[in-house]
């Protein structure tokens, strides 16, 4: 029987179902593991606020790494908060507007900010039928964002730019995101930053040297835990740094092949089949 001291879990495509919900069975089993002394950490590209938009209030978690490592929490206490380089966010907004690319600026205070003048072409990205390359949970998240949670602002203040923890980009055209990532890679040689994707249709920007792994190092150091006894489960490219430092890693069945290839094992079931819960029960029981 494998015994792990810590479970590190991605949210979208792992903890969350395609409908952005958490099954009662998973929530209850995580509570069982915590009673056994296992530490439960959520490790996500979402900001702290947007993570709790989809997690139930009683979701059992001891700590969180959010915004792909840009913020770290022990319980509800923020122990680390990073920001993007000062001139990066306005430059990315300018370039995203030129490319007519869906974007969200995520300030350290949480939430999402987008300029209202860009709303027409951004709405076009979530209009009509869902493209095959876009997962259901990402599509639902984009619809919720444009209809409910984005703060559409006339201008973005310098204080908002200087306190940006992450930027998120999306296109219904995966080819457009591939070209955008190439442009970002070129820009990162001038202004250092990191680029991650959790799906073929998105790109996320964090500060240089920041990833899910860097956030977890801060969290593990504070909690005095060892990665050798840590289990990581995820489904996206942005989970690979977490896989590399974990004692054992598992890719979800719904993960792309290049992610599965870099994991120690693959779950038998997808996030649509309560795959994480079934995998944890198989592993711990």
Residue 136 covered by a domain: yes
Token code pair at residue 177: 């995101």
* Whether pLDDT at 50 is above 70: yes
Token code pair at residue 282: 């198989």
* Whether pLDDT at 1 is above 70: no
| CA dist list (Å): 112 to 28, 66, 208, 269 | 31, 14, 21, 32
**Which domain covers residue 109, as residue numbers?**
88-207
Task: Give SS3 for 265.
Answer: strand
Residue 66 covered by a domain: yes
Residue 1 covered by a domain: no
Residue at a domain's end among 207, 235, 257: 207
Question: CB–CB of 270/252 below 8 Å?
Answer: yes
**Ranges of H-type helices in 100-173:** 119-124, 136-144, 158-162
In terms of domains, do 24 and 74 share one? yes
Residue at a domain's end among 181, 207, 233: 207
Residue 153 covered by a domain: yes
In terms of domains, do 196 and 228 share one? no
In terms of domains, do 199 and 225 share one? no
Mean pLDDT of 233-258: 97
pLDDT at position 2, please? 58
pLDDT digits 0-9 by tens, 169-196: 999 999 999 999 999 999 999 999 999 9
CA atoms of 257 and 252, how far apart (whole Å): 10
- CATH number, domain with residue 198: 3.30.1240.10
In terms of domains, do 136 and 198 share one? yes
Number of domains in the chain: 2
Token code pair at residue 253: 């069945």
- To the question of pTM greater than 0.85 for the whole model, the response is yes
In terms of domains, do 39 and 116 share one? no
Residue at a domain's end among 184, 207, 230: 207
- CATH number, domain with residue 28: 3.40.50.1000
* Whether pLDDT at 121 is above 50: yes
């Amino acid at each position: 029987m494998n015994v792990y001291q810590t479970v590190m879990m991605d949210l979208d495509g792992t903890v969350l179902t395609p409908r952005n919900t958490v099954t009662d069975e998973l929530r209850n089993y995580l509570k069982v593991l915590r009673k056994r002394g296992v530490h439960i950490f959520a490790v996500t590209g979402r900001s702290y606020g947007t993570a709790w938009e989809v997690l139930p209030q009683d979701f059992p978690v001891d700590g969180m790494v959010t915004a792909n490592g840009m913020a770290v929490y022990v319980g509800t206490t923020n122990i680390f908060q990073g920001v993007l380089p000062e001139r990066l966010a306005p430059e990315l907004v300018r370039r995203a507007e030129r490319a007519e690319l869906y974007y969200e600026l995520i300030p350290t205070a949480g939430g999402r900010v987008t300029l209202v003048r860009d709303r027409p072409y951004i709405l076009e990205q979530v209009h009509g039928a869902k493209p095959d390359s876009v997962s259901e949970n990402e599509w639902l998240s984009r619809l919720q964002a444009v209809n409910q949670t984005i703060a559409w602002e006339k201008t973005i203040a310098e204080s908002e730019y200087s306190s940006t923890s992450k930027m998120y980009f999306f296109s219904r055209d995966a080819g457009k995101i591939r070209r955008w990532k190439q442009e970002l890679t070129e820009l990162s040689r001038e202004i250092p930053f990191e680029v991650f994707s959790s799906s073929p249709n998105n790109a996320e920007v964090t500060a240089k040297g920041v990833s899910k792994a860097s956030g977890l190092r801060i969290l593990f150091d504070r909690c005095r835990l060892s990665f050798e006894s840590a289990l990581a489960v995820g489904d996206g490219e942005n989970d690979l740094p977490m896989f590399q430092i974990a004692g054992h890693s598992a890719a979800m069945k719904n993960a792309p092949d290049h992610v599965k290839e870099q994991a120690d094992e693959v779950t038998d079931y997808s996030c649509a089949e309560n795959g994480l819960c079934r995998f944890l029960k198989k592993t711990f029981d």
